[in-house]
Amino acid sequence: MSIKEDFEKLLERLQVERDEINLKLHLASMEAKQEFEEAEKEWHSLKIKAAEIADESIETSEEFIDKAKIVGEELKRAYNRIGKRLAD
């Protein structure tokens, strides 16, 4: 094989790898965006629960507060997953 042919094969392999990476980046960003949109719904729900907990005129049970904490922990995990996707 000539140097020119070797170089052309290298370019072809790099093009394929580049295209694959580009597709993976696009898909990862779409998945991250979808997960973030779902997390946003939970975030708004959690803010409402937090306001109710903070409002001293509304009696809140331990169970209500525990459920709010669970939602908060789930949000924390979702944000970590999204952050990792964007960092990869």
DSSP character string of 1-43: --HHHHHHHHHHHHHHHHHHHHHHHHHHHHHHHHHHHHHHHHH
Q: What is the mean pLDDT of residues 57-70?
A: 84
Contacts of 45 (CB under 8 A, 6+ apart): 71
Tell me the mean pLDDT in the region 59-82: 88
Range of the domain at 77: 3-86
Higher pLDDT, 59 or 17: 17
CA distance 59 to 10: 69
pLDDT at 81 over 70: yes
Say if residues 19 and 62 touch (Cβ distance below 8 Å).
Answer: no
The gap from C-alpha 59 to its chain's centroid, in whole angstroms, comes to: 35
By the 8 A CB rule, do 77 and 23 touch?
no
Q: Is the pLDDT of residue 3 over 80?
A: yes
Number of domains in the chain: 1
pLDDT averaged over every residue in the chain:
86
Model pLDDT, residue 17: 87
Q: Determine the pLDDT at residue 88.
A: 64
